[in-house]
């Protein structure tokens, strides 16, 4: 879950960070912003939903928080909740689906 503020100015995820997510065992990323390198990311064992693709890189500031609630699109996502997604959208559940 990445809150990019809905920005369409630059990509917050590219193939290098996506590969790090794969290497760390992530199932997917929900990006409230843009990604780049979509063709390469699409070949990875990683589900990614984003607002758009754009080739422009972001400025790396080394900032970010983890383990914090994130709110966008009228939904608050809290640590420990489960996100399930497909190409049509996403749903958040308070516990793992059976």
Q: Is 37 annotated as a binding residue?
A: yes
Q: Is 49 annotated as a binding residue?
A: no
Q: Is 78 annotated as a binding residue?
A: no
Q: Higher pLDDT residue, 30 or 98?
A: 30
Kindly report which listed range (15-19, 26-30, 62-66, 75-79) carries the lowest average pLDDT score. Answer: 62-66
Q: Is there a domain that residue 53 lies in?
A: yes
Q: What percent of the chain has pLDDT over 70?
A: 100
Q: Is there a domain that residue 84 lies in?
A: yes
Whole-number mean pLDDT of the chain? 92
Q: What are phi and psi of 74, to 5 degrees?
A: 75, 10
Query: What domain range is 83 assigned to?
Result: 2-59+68-93
Q: Is there a domain that residue 32 lies in?
A: yes
Q: Is there a domain that residue 98 lies in?
A: no
- What digits encode the pLDDT tens for the residues 57-96? 988 777 778 889 998 888 889 999 998 988 888 888 988 9
Total of domains in the chain: 1
Please report, for the domain that includes residue 35, its CATH number: 3.50.30.40
Q: Is 15 annotated as a binding residue?
A: yes
Q: Are 13 and 32 in contact (CB under 8 A)?
A: no
Q: What is the pTM of this model?
A: 0.85
């Amino acid at each position: 879950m990445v809150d990019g503020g809905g920005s369409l100015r630059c990509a917050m995820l590219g193939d290098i960070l996506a590969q790090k997510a794969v290497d760390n065992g992530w199932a997917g990323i929900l990006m409230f912003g843009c990604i780049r390198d979509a063709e390469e990311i699409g070949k990875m064992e990683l589900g990614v939903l984003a607002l758009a693709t754009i080739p422009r890189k972001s400025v790396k500031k080394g900032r970010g928080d983890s383990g914090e609630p994130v709110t966008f699109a009228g939904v608050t996502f809290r640590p420990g909740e489960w996100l399930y997604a497909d190409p049509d959208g996403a749903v958040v559940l308070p516990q793992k689906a059976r």
